Structure 1
Amino acid sequence: MRVLLTGSSGWLGRFLAPRLMQAGHGVVGLDVVPGAATDIVGSVAERSVVDRAFADHRIEAVVHAAALHKPDIGRFPPQAFVDVNVTGTLNLLQAAATAGHDRFVFTSTTSLMISQVIRDGEGSAAVWLDETTGPLEPRNIYGVTKLAAEGLCRLFSREHGLNCAVLRTSRFFPEEDDTIRGIRGENLKATELLYRRLTVEDAARAHVMALENASGFETFVISAPTPFAHGDVVALKSDATAVIARYFPDAPALFARRGWQLPGSIGRIYDPGKAERLLGFRAITDFAAVLRALREAAPLPFAHDPDYVSPSTRLANG
């Protein structure tokens, strides 16, 4: 297929473009800044840019990964999130429907599943999150606009027969977290693979599999497989370290050897089981892969770059 990949200069795009090409697809990249995989410099928020991309490049399918993200909240006004995340998605869906496409992949986020109650850590048990979780009450403009864009995808699937896969990806960004205190850096990323993270390489694989297997309208949580079970949710909230040691007996010693900590409490777990059942996708890198790397003194199996700057930020900074 000849695929329009939006966000082609971004963190996901730089991994997703070659993965699509390896799978035999032609890729036309669109982003607000130039990049190795970007053919069109422009914004999805401008309908003329989208229409020109479709007209000039014979687009057959869309993988829509472009967005303003949570770290952009302090850099852009709310209207910019609506323009890019909602209007941009609408522009692409309308163009795809007009072109008679039969598939559309949308990069969404698990962030929209986190209400303020969950964010504040209320309750005595960790919250188990999957595609049935609701009602959804996003806590910021990022989540609100992503949820609205998901609704547009559902609408166009129903009204135009567009096979649309919505991928609610968990964390795969390389930079530092901007909200969590305590465990940080590589230590934080390593522990998050237990419950709320995946690698960018696995995120790219998930998008290719969704493109090739999309059917009807489906929403998928995309995250590394958790080792935990539903029965662990109370213990994870009160003493996550003990639960982790039960599943991985050498984890405390391996972490201590590196000067790392295991989390004392875990408040949420993302369950990616539906993606495995319907798409055949299971993340390759998980917490066990981190422990193997620590045992063998090998490179860590995920990216960490505290100096990473997103394309939107580069553009805003001139």
Structure 2
Amino acid sequence: MRVLLTGSTGWLGRHLAPRLAALGHEVTGLDVAPGPHTQVIGSVASRTTVDRVFADHSIESVIHAGALHKPDISRFPAQAFIDTNVTGTLNLLEAAVAAGHDRFVMTSTTSLMISQAIRDEVSDHAIWLDEAHAPLQPRNIYGVTKLAAENLCRQMQGETGMGVIVLRTSRFFPEDDDTHAPPPADNLKANEFLHRRLTVEDAADAHIAALEKAPEIGFGVYIASAPTPFQRSDCAGLKRDAAAVIRHYFPEADALYAARGWILPDTIGRVYDASRTEQDLGFRPATDFGSVLSALKTGAPLPFQHDSGYVSPSTLGAALVSEDCA
């Protein structure tokens, strides 16, 4: 297929584009910043740009991974999020329908499931989060606009029958977390594979699975995250003494962590359950917390990437993003 990949310069896009090409797809990358997998510099917020890309490259399907993200809140006004995340999604959906496409995949985020109360961890137990979680009360403009984009996808599929899959990805960014103190970044990322992280490689493969399944499924919203070892019955224990629960499932974790100078989390406030993604899309991430422990045990490289100096394409293409909301 001739696939339009938005966000092709981004962390996900740079891993997804070569995977699509290896499967025989002809990929056209669209982003606000240049990159090795980006053929068109422009914004999805411009309908003229979107229509030109569709016409010039005879696009047959879309993976919409381009967006402004949570770290962009400090760099761009709310209007930029509306223009890129909402209007941009509508532009792509309408162009795909006009072109007669049978499939469309959009990257969303588990962040939109996190209300301020969940973020503050006011509950006496960990919150178990799956696709049925409600009500959805996003706590910032990023979550608000991604939820609006999801609803546009839902409406368009219902009106036209085009297959649309929305993937709510958990954390896969390489940079340091912007809201947490200790533990160190690699320790924190390792811990998150228990409940709210996946590798960028697995995120890319999830999108490929969604692209293949979209016409069959029709419409679906799915969480993409490393499989958690926990059960719903663990939620009280995870909030009270997460390390004890982890030791129950992974008795070797303490010693392996201690040898590296790492610490297990004292408490876990939320857990993402991605089992429906495996059931419906036939996709299970290759990397989980057990993979992290195996690397620690054997001395192999950690199975995830960390880059504290990563710069997002939105920052590199800030002038173009700003023009869209001017």
Is 1:49 aligned with 2:56? no
Distance 1:89 1:183 in 2: 37
**Matched residue type, 1:296:** T
**Matched residue type, 2:311:** V
User: Does structure 2 retain, via aligned residues, the 8 Å contact 1:220–1:275?
Assistant: yes
State the 1:23 CA deviation: 1.8
State the 1:162 CA deviation: 1.0
**Under a length normalisation based on structure 2, what TM-score does the superposition of the two structures give?**
0.96
1:270 to 269, 272, 297: 272
Q: Residues 179-218 of structure 1 correspond to what in structure 2 (within 5 A)? A: 179-214=179-214, 215-218=217-220
2:224 to 222, 225, 231: 222
**Matched residue type, 2:238:** L
Distance 2:205 2:177 in 1: 24
Q: Which residue of 2 aligns with 1:291?
A: 293
Distance 1:28 1:314 in 2: 20
State the 1:123 CA deviation: 1.1
User: Does structure 2 retain, via aligned residues, the 8 Å contact 1:31–1:40?
Assistant: yes
Spell out structure 1 runs of 4+ moving beyond 4 A: none
Question: C-alpha offsets along residues 9-61 of structure 1, whole Å, 9 cap, x if unaligned?
Answer: 00000000011111221101000011111111000000000000000001000
Q: Which residue of 2 aligns with 1:107?
A: 107
Distance 1:284 1:136 in 2: 29
Give the unaligned 5+ runs of structure 1.
Answer: none
Q: Which residue of 2 aligns with 1:136?
A: 136
Q: Residues 74-153 of structure 1 correspond to what in structure 2 (within 5 A)? A: 74-153=74-153
Q: Which residue of 2 aligns with 1:67?
A: 67
Q: How many residues are matched?
A: 318
Please give the root-mean-square deviation of Cα atoms over the aligned residues, in Å: 0.9
Q: Which residue of 2 aligns with 1:301?
A: 303
Question: C-alpha offsets along residues 139-186 of structure 1, whole Å, 9 cap, x if unaligned?
Answer: 000000000000000011001111000000000000000012232300
Distance 1:180 1:144 in 2: 22
Give the unaligned 5+ runs of structure 2.
Answer: 321-326
Q: Which residue of 1 aligns with 2:323?
A: none
**Matched residue type, 1:306:** S
Question: C-alpha offsets along residues 248-289 of structure 1, whole Å, 9 cap, x if unaligned?
Answer: 001011111101110000000000011100000100000000
SS in 1 for 2:317: helix
